[in-house]
Structure 1
Amino acid sequence: MLLTVLVLLPAAGLFLRVLQENSKQRDNVQLEQDGVEYLTALGPLISALAESQSSALQGVAAEPASVTAAVARVQGVDERFGEQLGTKTRWADLKDKIAKLPKVTGSDDKVYTAHVEVADLTIELFDVVRESSTLNRDPDSDIWFLQEVVAQEMPVAVTAVSRMSDLANRAAATTGKVRAGLIVQFGYQALKVQEVVGDLTNGLQEAVDNTNSDTLSGNLVSNLDSFRRGIEAANRGANLGGSPNVSTLVTAQSTLQTALSALSGVILKEVSSLLDDRSSSLTYKRIEAFLLFGIAIVLIAVAALWTRGRARQAQTGFTEQPGEASRDLSVQVGNGNPYGGSNSYDSVPGYGEVPNYGGGRERSGALR
């Protein structure tokens, strides 16, 4: 019993450590999946805010329907995951500012600044979600690059292209120092677009090179091509070094928003699929650990019973049987008669045969 306990305790300790690590990894995967769902809702919001900015600068005070739908969707995921992701307070503040955007009146600078503030807060919310969900610390290279693209570079690309188009529109309607200042801002956003697009493309390439997914490369190709065409159109409209082409920029903005929305959907779907595969693998390992621990217990019990049985058999083998000592003693400690009689004359050897035991004297002549 003591041997059984000494073997079972380390096995149980090892099993518990494996189970705790497995549970920790499963909880982390679930947290990342919650983050992916939150990011899926934030993607349409950043595009809707870009549309709202353009509409407001054109004098449309009403909130676009796309903003209303996007806010409702983010509100839904925040109610489910906001507590564990730590987004409730930040989202409540952002939601309040979005609701106030249609009430912002005055100069274009005031309207533009209000929308820029809201868009920047939305980009910060992207960062909070990917950090709180630990997506930005994922151990797999493909997931890490994909989350970097979809949660950091794509929102910046959407807002930068939108600001390029709106700044070009405003510059076309002004002159003098105001126009010069707007052109400077436009140039800054154009350079940011080029930088972000380069990082985005490199990140997607790294993800494809380091993934085990059979579908990632194929799903990215068509959407990435549409995105690149939109970027090329935006670069033509930007016309760095010359006057921006407003109509080309507006078309490029629309194309890019559609392409980025589709690309974002593909990336998030792939990330979710990769996390599902990891979750399934961890579940299999959990079941495997339980089975191995159960088998170990059975084997230890069988070994203990077998060892105990062998010990009993060995103990029984050392115990003397009844009468065994007297029989041994009669043979070894006799009175000199090897024939087992009560005295030396109970059994007489054949005539003429006189055994001599231990050098004793021969029988008397009368007996002969």
Structure 2
Amino acid sequence: MTVPAPRVRRRPRTPGRLLPLLLTTALLLPVAFLVVQAHQLVDTDRDVVARERLGVEYLRALGPVTDALVDAQSAAVTGRPLRRDTLDQAVERAATVDARIGGELSTSERWAGLRAKLEALPERALTDREAAFTVYGEVTDLLLALHNKVRETSGLIRDAGVDAYFLQDGVAEEMPEAMVAAGRLTDLAVLMNRRSEAERLQSLSQLATLRAAALQPANDLANNLRAVVENTESADLGANVLTPFDAYQRAVETMALHSQPVDQAGTVDTTRLLAARNEAQQAAKQLQPVLLDEIDRLLAERLDGLDRDRLLIIGAGGLAALLLVGLAVNTWMSRPRDTSAAPVAGDAPAPPPGVRWDNAGARPVEPPPALQPVGQVHEPDRWRPFDAAR
């Protein structure tokens, strides 16, 4: 007795099994491209913001240099003893910052030239005060140019945020220009009082020019801060800025008032003018770190947002990849398979349709005869009586 061989399942054809993998790969490629592109855009924005924070750090180091240089100029013009140690310490701190980030901001060359000028300043007050006014004026011009260089190379001047833009414009351009112009205004008034009456009258136009140069950036700074305080979402900025800002604005207005000649000879009340300038300088010293801290806070929040965006991009890309791979695996595992079996040599022939094998598998079993309706007679039985008579 021959037992038929078990049926063997045949694997699907190779193209059908590879199709899910090909589709998954075709979908993963554009997903990976989009993830990489989005990640690069976020990294680019992050580099821009990080560079702006470097600019804030550099400006923070230049603030004390500006204060010390303006004080040194006033001391040289008025004949007071120079406090060179304050200026030297500010220069050393700025040099440390430039050595660390100056190469990235492309300020090393400008700083080297400015530092050479600062170190070349005389240790003692010059006998010729007019010459001292000119020498210090050249150095302060280089310092203001360095402020602008930092704004440009760090990208602060192109910041897209409204608050950050107005703040950097005020603290990095308007405030240094106003402080330098205020120092020159008071120093010129001191020099004018030492000149002859004819020379004083000739210098009134120069005094008016310096007065405008001091008031214009101060007014621009006031407008910038007013716009920031009115539109900012920070609850602490208004309280921190208003007090030193009000003191600075009052001092500038007082300074402008006392820079006017008190007589027809062109004499200026330098005592009150110097007092007003000192008040303005002290208010500016308090205001500058507050503004720089606010800019740095805004940039830090922007960096945190970009870091979150980068994590979301990576997470979304990874999730999309997992879903596509899971879909491909599921399609692979659930694909229907061909269960038909090919005949094997030595097996019994397959039964015809309607015939099944017996339990032993030795021979086919005839199907049972079909049931006939009651009263119906088969065709052969109907002719049987005629066959008997014959």
TM-score interval (norm. to shorter): 0.7 to 0.9
Partners of 1:316 and 1:354 lie apart in 2 by: 47
Are the counterparts in 2 of residues 150 and 264 from structure 1 also a CA contact under 8 Å? yes
SS at match of 2:195: coil
Partners of 1:127 and 1:201 lie apart in 2 by: 19
Give the 5 Å matches for 1:197-346. 197-239=218-260, 243-311=267-335, 314-316=336-338, 319=340, 329-330=353-354, 341=366
The one-letter code matched in structure 2 to 1:5 is: T
Aligned counterpart, 2:13 = none
Aligned counterpart, 1:334 = none
Single out whichever of 133-142 and 52-61 deviates more from structure 2. Answer: 52-61
Partners of 2:81 and 2:256 lie apart in 1 by: 30
Give the 5 Å matches for 1:1-368. 1-60=21-80, 62-102=82-122, 105-239=126-260, 243-311=267-335, 314-316=336-338, 319=340, 329-330=353-354, 341=366, 353-355=376-378, 364-365=383-384
Aligned counterpart, 1:335 = none
Aligned counterpart, 1:336 = none
How big is each residue's C-alpha offset from its partner over 1:195-215, in whole Å with a ceiling of 9 and x where there is no partner?
A: 222111111122223333222
Single out whichever of 225-234 and 145-154 deviates more from structure 2. Answer: 225-234
Higher RCO, 1 vs 2 (CA within 8 Å, ≥6 residues apart): 2
- How many residues get paired? 351
The normalised TM-score by structure 2 is 0.82
Are the counterparts in 2 of residues 98 and 118 from structure 1 also a CA contact under 8 Å? yes
Are the counterparts in 1 of residues 77 and 130 from structure 2 also a CA contact under 8 Å? no
How big is each residue's C-alpha offset from its partner over 1:285-332, in whole Å with a ceiling of 9 and x where there is no partner?
A: 111111111111111111111122232xx3347x47999x9677237x
Partners of 1:212 and 1:327 lie apart in 2 by: 88
Shift of 1:149: 0.4
User: Aligned-pair RMSD on alpha carbons?
Assistant: 2.9
Are the counterparts in 2 of residues 63 and 102 from structure 1 also a CA contact under 8 Å? no
What is the percentage of aligned positions where both structures have the same residue? 32
Are the counterparts in 2 of residues 160 and 189 from structure 1 also a CA contact under 8 Å? yes
SS at match of 1:101: coil
SS at match of 2:334: helix
For structure 2, the 5+ residue unaligned runs are: 1-20, 356-364
The one-letter code matched in structure 2 to 1:365 is: R
The verdict on how the C-alpha distance between 1:255 and 1:348 changes in structure 2, with shifts beyond 3 A counting, is closer
Aligned counterpart, 1:337 = none
Partners of 2:178 and 2:92 lie apart in 1 by: 24
Shift of 1:67: 0.8
SS at match of 1:354: coil
The normalised TM-score by structure 1 is 0.87
Partners of 1:266 and 1:98 lie apart in 2 by: 27
Shift of 1:177: 3.3
Are the counterparts in 2 of residues 126 and 152 from structure 1 also a CA contact under 8 Å? yes
